[in-house]
């Protein structure tokens, strides 16, 4: 299928995948430069929001150099490439990021989680798959795809390892949580060591790793125009293996993916087992990315059909049952319980008494968000940053829902951004709940770490989501807040306290994804065309199926 200019102009983004089965996002072997300039034009010209932004004189895009890897900055930072004077922190961040690069047999293969030698290393000296995503995006945006390609290929090799926890063999498609390069000074050799959860604290499975791997592969393809990598048989097989883990038939009654606790960025017991939004949103995005990466050969075709079906069921389920706004909250508040049969309104038998007090104040008149978790008699009303941002970026959220998520962030700025963007989840779990839900975890006390802590890395996701819904000014505000302290405090992993005023109790300093998250946020804001790497336009076929709220049509 070829790409026509109309496709771009109509949809505002060449990455539109308006019909899952048509797969208009399928990487095409077009002349790289042509594809790039198309994407660039489609974003800048076809979208009024970027045009007006340019009219404000706030940005300047150098069309020739933006996507040209050969025009890499001689200063080792992209400074000057965009024709703007970056914040001093920007150059410092690039320098720090380069120091975290990990080499295997002479080639860069990833970035170390943290360069903090003051604390016990634990596994912070490893390359984490999820942590590498902002690093990889930063390198792609700076025209340095090599490290990303090597990372994708190395982790793919690790996927094919036999994985065991005690005597139990893990699924073939599981991607590692992290890996490390071991140097043998005597033999002068290097080998890789990987952790699939068998060494991780709590023995948690990294469900998100495989999804991030697929998402990064698409970002690489999109940014470089190199479709050959994804088309390699081993990459096609890698995608199939990841998906085999989540598309297999079982006892499920929902299209969402059933997970154990600690299976994502929140990798400790935090009451995120069941159907956590963080994983459902990544699952949705990975399925959509896989759809554009998979070859339509005999093997691929059958899988594509299954993906399309799952996407339809998943988006319906998420948009219907995970969505919460004032109207929906009021409906739940008045729910009847114990309804039997398919006519039930309260399908999951949620008991209104289980509604937490805080949610009534938290819910603004205009705005909404995807719930943390929905299952039988279970609604986790906590707001999760990553899940809601990924829902926007993957277009799991309808355009109306995306706007509503942004409305909520603006209305609850103090709570969600406060003194350091962004809360990983809101609010914190306290007292008895904390004891029961976390198992008395001293690292996850209220307003710390995963329990309502503020994570600078999330800045890139917030920024991408803001740009996608046409509100870059929100991201700009958040970045300004971060710039007040992030570098001065030594790029901490997370901040504590209700508004994120304190460097986290056990936060590592020089945490790589805090650095890379900032860089990606800055580069995207400066050049919104980068957004295409990590964003997918809405599928027009998934239009309104239900109408649950008068304020938002689906």
How many binding residues for ligand GLC (CB under 6 A)? 6
What Cα–Cα distance (Å) separates residue 48 from each residue in 55, 469, 489?
10, 12, 38
Task: At 424, list the tokens.
Answer: 């990983």
Closest to ligand GLC by CB, 209 or 227: 209
Which x/- pattern, by CB under 6 A, does the window 298-317 give for ligand GLC?
--------------------
Closest to ligand GLC by CB, 278 or 538: 278
Distance CA 318, CA 280 (A): 8
Q: If residue 370 lies in a helix (H) or strand (E), which one and from where to where?
A: strand 368-370
- From the centroid of its chain, how far is CA 49? 23
**CB of residue 195 vs ligand GLC: minimum separation in angstroms?**
11
Which x/- pattern, by CB under 6 A, does the window 241-280 give for ligand GLC?
------------------------x-x-------------
> Which residue in the set 93, 97, 102, 113 belongs to the binding site for ligand GLC (CB under 6 A)?
113
Helix axes 233-247, 298-317, angle to 10 degrees: 40
CB atoms within 10 A of CB 361: 9
Closest to ligand GLC by CB, 368 or 517: 517
Closest to ligand GLC by CB, 50 or 283: 283
**CB of residue 266 vs ligand GLC: minimum separation in angstroms?**
6
Stretch that binds ligand GLC, among 123-131, 247-255, 328-336, 544-552 (CB under 6 A): 123-131
Q: Which of 108, 113, 140 is nearest to 125 (CA)?
A: 113
Stretch that binds ligand GLC, among 66-74, 124-132, 187-195, 327-335 (CB under 6 A): 124-132
Distance CA 408, CA 212 (A): 26
**CB of residue 208 vs ligand GLC: minimum separation in angstroms?**
9
Can residue 128 be called a binding residue for ligand GLC (CB under 6 A)?
yes
Long-range contacts formed by 483-489: CB under 8 A, 24+ apart: 483/87, 483/89, 485/419, 485/420, 486/89, 486/420, 486/456, 486/514, 486/518, 487/89, 487/92, 487/93
Q: Is the dihedral of CA 542, 543, 549, 551 positive or negative?
A: positive
Distance CA 308, CA 312 (A): 6
Stretch that binds ligand GLC, among 128-136, 157-165, 236-244, 468-476 (CB under 6 A): 128-136
**CB of residue 444 vs ligand GLC: minimum separation in angstroms?**
10
**CB of residue 450 vs ligand GLC: minimum separation in angstroms?**
6
Closest to ligand GLC by CB, 267 or 526: 267
> Which residue in the set 13, 25, 39, 131 belongs to the binding site for ligand GLC (CB under 6 A)?
131
Closest to ligand GLC by CB, 131 or 538: 131
Which residues are CB-neighbours of 42 under 8 A, at least 6 positions away?
Answer: 8, 9, 11, 12, 13, 14
Q: Which of 433, 384, 133, 127 is nearest to 266 (CA)?
A: 384
**CB of residue 525 vs ligand GLC: minimum separation in angstroms?**
24
Can residue 138 be called a binding residue for ligand GLC (CB under 6 A)?
no
Closest to ligand GLC by CB, 270 or 294: 270
Closest to ligand GLC by CB, 129 or 465: 129
Q: Which of 505, 508, 511, 374 is nearest to 451 (CA)?
A: 505
Stretch that binds ligand GLC, among 20-28, 126-134, 150-158, 356-364 (CB under 6 A): 126-134
> Which residue in the set 130, 218, 222, 510 belongs to the binding site for ligand GLC (CB under 6 A)?
130
Three-state SS at 336: coil
- The tokens 């150099």 sit on which residue? 65
User: CB–CB of 508/493 below 8 Å?
Assistant: yes
Closest to ligand GLC by CB, 118 or 365: 118
What Cα–Cα distance (Å) separates residue 406 from each residue in 13, 149, 400, 417, 468?
21, 33, 10, 12, 11
Stretch that binds ligand GLC, among 73-81, 125-133, 167-175, 463-471 (CB under 6 A): 125-133
User: CB–CB of 349/321 below 8 Å?
Assistant: no
Closest to ligand GLC by CB, 39 or 195: 195
Three-state SS at 53: helix
CB atoms within 10 A of CB 285: 24
Distance CA 475, CA 484 (A): 15
Closest to ligand GLC by CB, 13 or 267: 267
Task: At 225, list the tokens.
Answer: 């125009």
**CB of residue 489 vs ligand GLC: minimum separation in angstroms?**
17
Three-state SS at 511: strand
**CB of residue 535 vs ligand GLC: minimum separation in angstroms?**
22
Closest to ligand GLC by CB, 174 or 363: 174
**CB of residue 128 vs ligand GLC: minimum separation in angstroms?**
4
**CB of residue 346 vs ligand GLC: minimum separation in angstroms?**
34
**CB of residue 357 vs ligand GLC: minimum separation in angstroms?**
28
**CB of residue 255 vs ligand GLC: minimum separation in angstroms?**
26
Task: At 51, list the tokens.
Answer: 């045009």
Closest to ligand GLC by CB, 112 or 291: 112
**CB of residue 508 vs ligand GLC: minimum separation in angstroms?**
7
Q: Which of 547, 554, 549 is nearest to 363 (CA)?
A: 549
**CB of residue 493 vs ligand GLC: minimum separation in angstroms?**
7
Closest to ligand GLC by CB, 202 or 364: 202
CB atoms within 10 A of CB 70: 6
Distance CA 379, CA 368 (A): 15
Binding site for ligand GLC (CB under 6 A): 113, 128, 130-131, 265, 267
């Amino acid at each position: 299928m070829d790409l026509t200019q109309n496709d771009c102009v109509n949809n505002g983004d060449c990455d539109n995948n308006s019909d899952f089965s048509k797969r208009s996002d399928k990487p095409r072997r077009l002349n790289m430069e042509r594809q790039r300039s198309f994407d660039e034009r489609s974003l800048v010209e076809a979208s009024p929001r970027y045009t007006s932004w340019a009219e404000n004189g706030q940005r300047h895009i150098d069309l020739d150099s933006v996507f040209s890897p050969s025009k890499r900055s001689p200063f080792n930072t992209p400074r000057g490439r965009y024709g703007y004077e970056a914040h001093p922190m920007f150059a410092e961040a690039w320098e720090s990021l380069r120091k975290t690069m990990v080499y295997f047999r002479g080639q860069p293969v990833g970035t170390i989680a943290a360069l903090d030698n003051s604390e016990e290393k634990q596994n912070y000296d490893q390359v984490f798959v999820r942590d590498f995503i902002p690093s990889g995006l930063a390198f792609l945006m700076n025209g340095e795809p090599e490290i990303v390609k090597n990372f994708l290929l190395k982790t793919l090799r690790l996927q094919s390892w036999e994985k065991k926890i005690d005597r139990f063999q893990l699924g073939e498609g599981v991607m590692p949580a992290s890996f490390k390069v071991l140097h043998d000074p005597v033999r002068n050799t290097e080998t890789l060591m990987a952790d699939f959860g068998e060494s991780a604290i709590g023995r948690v499975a990294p469900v998100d790793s495989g999804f991030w791997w697929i998402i990064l592969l698409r970002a690489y393809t999109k940014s470089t125009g190199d479709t050959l990598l994804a088309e390699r048989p081993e990459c096609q097989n890698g995608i199939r293996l990841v998906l085999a883990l989540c598309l297999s038939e079982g006892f499920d009654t929902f299209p969402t993916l059933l997970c154990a606790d600690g299976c994502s960025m929140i990798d400790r017991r935090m009451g995120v087992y069941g159907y956590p939004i963080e994983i459902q949103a990544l699952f949705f995005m990975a399925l959509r990315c896989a759809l554009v990466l998979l070859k339509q050969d005999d093997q691929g075709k059958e899988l594509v059909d299954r993906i399309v079906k799952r996407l339809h069921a998943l988006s319906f389920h998420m948009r219907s049952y995970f969505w919460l706004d004032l109207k929906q909250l009021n409906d739940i508040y008045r729910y009847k319980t114990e309804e039997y049969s398919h006519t039930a309104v309260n399908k999951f038998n949620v008991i209104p008494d289980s509604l937490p007090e805080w949610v009534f104040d938290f819910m603004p008149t205009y705005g909404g968000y995807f719930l943390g978790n929905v299952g039988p008699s279970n609604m986790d009303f906590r707001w999760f940053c990553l899940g809601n941002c990924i829902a926007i970026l993957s277009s799991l959220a309808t355009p109306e829902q995306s706007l509503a998520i942004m409305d909520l962030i603006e209305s609850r700025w103090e709570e969600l951004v406060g003194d350091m963007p962004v809360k990983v989840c809101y609010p914190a779990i306290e007292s008895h709940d904390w004891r029961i839900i976390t198992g008395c975890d001293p690292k996850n006390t209220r307003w710390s770490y995963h329990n309502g802590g503020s994570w600078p890395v999330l800045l890139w996701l917030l920024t991408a989501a803001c740009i996608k819904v046409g509100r870059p000014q929100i991201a700009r505000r958040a970045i300004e807040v971060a710039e007040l302290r992030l570098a001065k405090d030594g790029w901490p992993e997370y901040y504590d306290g209700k508004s994120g005023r304190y460097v986290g109790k056990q936060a590592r300093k020089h945490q790589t994804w805090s650095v890379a998250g900032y860089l990606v946020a800055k580069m995207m804001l400066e050049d919104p065309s980068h957004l295409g790497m990590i964003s997918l336009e809405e599928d027009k076929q998934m239009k309104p199926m239900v109408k649950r709220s008068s304020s938002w049509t689906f």
